[in-house]
Structure 1
């Protein structure tokens, strides 16, 4: 088998050309210079405008079929009463969790069956929801949760995002001038949103229902949500 041998002068020329190639042609990226990483946030606090109120009931009997029948009857009656006041966007009515499980005696045998069923009232009309919950006598309040509606969250998030972008640009300009540069260009950026609220304790909601007559509205009080949008990224000083 023949072997091709290059003249020594040609081989040295090839090696020299490889050495003289620019860094990017050899697959090595140049190290970024004058790049600064920074972040800025926009924060908006608004009243919570969406209420989710859960009503539940528990039944117990020697057999599972009896418990299931009792729960179904209670939920059907509660849904029928709640739907009388339902209104799209203001108060929606839906069924919630449904669970059925055995209870065991000391010998490990099933003694009785117990089950829990829920319905959920949710929407933006707090008065309608609370008064409807007071009229549902078969179930009691087990949970109250406040939040922002989709529409309000979108509005507030856009407002906070505008604030964050404005602050990011101002901070980038200040940093550029502080280091003796006249301007900057954006390299990469990320935008993240977060909502913090004030949840209502479950125990408080249950006590509130028991302190009033069954037909009285369930007292509810919304808190506030803080929507934070953070803009972070890198800028090239120039």
Structure 2
């Protein structure tokens, strides 16, 4: 007969395991509380820099429109005009300065009166001129046979965008560092270090009204054999540096 105050080996082992589990849980909770404790003397801040630059990339889209009763004839007319314009434009091609490519080519039916049947066919073909040599592109657009201006746009070339973005990023980083040092001193700390940082931006935004509409109106009024007047606008490139710093005594 077992004494009422005598524990079995199984129950003693169970209590030992429970004690170990409680100790492990307490240790884990303490470690978690240490890792999740909010850091002290941390400051979140951001700085931004931007600059305006003249857009150096011109894009002129030319088009030819034809219509007729036969879809094949309309398509053939479009190709003839486009091929002639391409032959002339390729003579002026220079990598990066004057680039030539074809754009959209479409052909669609025109509905007859009251929507019964097809009255004919209408189509259009596009030729795109793009590059950094604005005078050469505008002159080329004015002398291509059978083509008229559909759209004009300005932008920044890849080379200019990368160069400006690098310069603006350096200015934004310098402003971030200046603010970090100033804020740390104002809070009574002698030093600081970067905890995390993020650099965003480098996008190009037009500054003021888009000049393409003024240019398009001027080009539409100019004779077909003259250089088409264009006026480049300005663009703003902005970069933001944001993050957090650890302020310290030294």
**What TM-score, normalized to structure 2?**
0.85
Alignment partner of 2:220 out of 186, 210, 213: 210
Q: Which of these residues, 203, 210, 228, is aligned with residue 194 of structure 1?
A: 203
Change (3 A) 1:64 1:146: same
State the partner residue of 1:229.
Answer: 239
Say which of 189, 212, 216 aligns to 1:181: 189
Q: Distance in 2 between matches of 1:26 and 1:108?
A: 78
- Do the aligned partners of 2:75 and 2:123 also contact (CA within 8 Å) in 1? yes
**The one of 99, 109, 121 aligned to 1:102:** 109
Deviation of 1:59 after TM superposition, in Å, equals 1.1
Q: Over aligned residue pairs, what C-alpha RMSD do you find?
A: 2.4
Contact 1:141 1:205 in 2 (8 A): no
What are the residue-to-residue correspondences of 1:32-43 with 2, within 5 Å? 32-43=39-50
Q: Flag structure 1 segments of 5+ consecutive residues without an equivalent.
A: none
Distance change in 2, residues 1:46/1:8 (3 Å): same
Cα offset, 1:98, TM superposition: 1.1
Q: CA deviation at 1:27?
A: 9.2
Residue in 1 aligned with 2:4? none
CA distance, structure 2, for counterparts of residue 69 and residue 141 of structure 1: 21
Shift of the alpha carbon at 1:75? 0.6
TM-score under structure 1 length normalisation: 0.89
Match of 1:93 among 100, 107, 125: 100
TM-fit CA distance, 1:22: 6.1
Structure number, greater radius of gyration? 2
Q: Would you say how many aligned residue pairs link Structure 1 and Structure 2?
A: 236
Distance 1:162 1:55, change over 3 A: same
Point out the more displaced range, 3-12 or 189-198: 3-12
Question: In structure 2, what is the Cα distance between the partners aligned to 1:160 and 1:110?
Answer: 57
Distance in 2 between residues matched to 1:74 and 1:205, nearest whole Å:
24
1:10-55 per-residue CA deviation (whole Å, 9 max, x = no partner) reads: 7446524532456335795222232222111121211111111111
